A = this chain, B = another copy of it.
Amino acid sequence: MTTMVDVAKLANVSNATVSRVFSNPDAVSKDTKEKVLKAAEELNYELNVLARNLRRMKTEVIMVILPDISNSFFSKIVRGIESVAMKNNYKVLLGDTKNDLDLEKEYLKNLDQKYADGVISLTARIDAELIKEISDKFNMVLACEYIDEESIPTVSINNVEGAYKATEHLINLGHEKIVHISGPEDVILSQDRIKGYKNALNEYNLSVDADLIIEGDFSYKSGYNIMSKLIKFNKTPTAVFADSDQMAIGAIKAIKEHGLKVPEDIAVVGFDNIEIASIYEPSLTTISQPMYKIGVKAMQLLLDLMGNKKIENNKIQLESKLIIRDSCGYKSR
């Protein structure tokens, strides 16, 4: 293995100079720089990141913790994160929790070992205390999911508003019995969406029926199961608002299997606008989240945090949008 010392010898300069050429080239004269670069080239020298990391006490690595990398909602966000990270010379370490709270905790706790300079978590289901504690001593930003804590930088959409828009859309289409298949209740985002759903009903003078709010887990399967049960027990609504496109599609599948039609018999709205939403048939009316942009913003926030920049606004809310497709039908005039 060739080191800086070797290069320094060959180039007839000190190792400090070689170091400068690679970490602060502007501080070296053009001539010496060339000399050094030539020597490095000749020796096939490559900077040893390990040594640099120890010396600088940083890794140029950030970690992303998420519930499931094979879920396209999250992987799209990761893409946004990665693209910004790369431009800023950061590498991205993956922490897939497989929806396991213990794993989530483990990933977060191990951060002390300094294998990453910062973390972006797309899940925040372990106790808020612990999350707060970690964010106090470590550069951390939350994205998508969040907790009720002033101090932690967070990127998300306004979920109350998003759910409001979805519900309102169904109301405007003439629906009064609207089932809301929600996300897990221990996630604040689900609570916010329930709020938005209720707000819309209230606004339009429709009664809120607690039985119509049913807890799912975002998965295709839970949407399917919940809808199947509703139909089986003769509680078929005229409309469904699901907290994820996957649950919405699961619900549609169940509806179809029972010989009913979407949107003619039951209208369905999803959430997220993942790729399949536009491809599925019927194409899915949904609330779109700017996944890629969430990733980008989260990484930028983390970059600021790690650079000790002042963060003027640590709660970034991005726009969600109602995307109207075929799964709800259209207003008759």
Residues of chain A at the chain B interface (Cβ within 8 Å): 46-51, 53-54, 57, 59, 61, 68-72, 75-76, 78-79, 82-83, 91-94, 96, 98, 112-115, 220, 249, 253, 256, 275-276, 279-281
Cβ distance A132 to chain B, nearest Cβ, rounded Å: 17
> Which of B49, B69, B93, B114 is within 8 Å of A78, CB to CB?
B69
Number of copies: 2
A-B contact pairs, 10 of them (CB 8 A): A46-B112, A50-B50, A70-B79, A79-B96, A79-B98, A91-B115, A92-B94, A276-B276, A276-B279, A279-B280
Whether A113 pairs with B46 at a CB distance below 8 angstroms is yes
Residue of B nearest to A60 (CB): B115
Cβ distance A140 to chain B, nearest Cβ, rounded Å: 16
Asked if A82 meets B53 with Cβ closer than 8 Å, knowing A112-B46, A115-B91, the reply is no
Chain B residue numbers with a CB within 8 Å of A280 are 279-281
Chain B residue numbers with a CB within 8 Å of A71 are 75
Cβ distance A64 to chain B, nearest Cβ, rounded Å: 8
Asked if A70 meets B70 with Cβ closer than 8 Å, knowing A82-B94, A96-B82, the reply is no
Asked if A48 meets B92 with Cβ closer than 8 Å, knowing A69-B79, A70-B72, A79-B69, the reply is no
Q: Report how far A112 CA is from B70 CA in the complex, Å.
A: 29
Q: Report how far A92 CA is from B94 CA in the complex, Å.
A: 6
Asked if A91 meets B93 with Cβ closer than 8 Å, knowing A69-B69, A69-B78, A70-B75, the reply is yes
For the A-B complex with A69-B75, A82-B94, A93-B93 known, give 9 more contacts whose Cβ atoms are closer than 8 Å: A49-B115, A50-B54, A61-B115, A69-B82, A70-B79, A72-B72, A78-B94, A276-B279, A280-B280
Most chain B beta carbons < 10 A, residue from A51, A75, A83? A75
Whether B281 pairs with A281 at a CB distance below 8 angstroms is yes
Chain B residue numbers with a CB within 8 Å of A76 are 70
Q: Report how far A308 CA is from B70 CA in the complex, Å.
A: 31
> Which of B75, B114, B256 is within 8 Å of A49, CB to CB?
B114
Cβ distance A2 to chain B, nearest Cβ, rounded Å: 11
Whether A50 pairs with B114 at a CB distance below 8 angstroms is yes
Q: Report how far A55 CA is from B172 CA in the complex, Å.
A: 66
Chain B residue numbers with a CB within 8 Å of A47 are 113
Residue of B nearest to A96 (CB): B82
Q: Report how far A98 CA is from B75 CA in the complex, Å.
A: 13
Q: Report how far A219 CA is from B94 CA in the complex, Å.
A: 25
Q: Report how far A7 CA is from B112 CA in the complex, Å.
A: 16
Chain B residue numbers with a CB within 8 Å of A279 are 220, 249, 253, 276, 280
> Which of B54, B78, B94, B112 is within 8 Å of A51, CB to CB?
B54
Chain B residue numbers with a CB within 8 Å of A46 are 112-114
Chain B residue numbers with a CB within 8 Å of A59 are 50
Chain B residue numbers with a CB within 8 Å of A50 are 50, 53-54, 57, 59, 114-115
Chain B residue numbers with a CB within 8 Å of A49 are 113-115
Q: Report how far A75 CA is from B71 CA in the complex, Å.
A: 8
Q: Report how far A79 CA is from B94 CA in the complex, Å.
A: 10
Chain B residue numbers with a CB within 8 Å of A220 are 275, 279
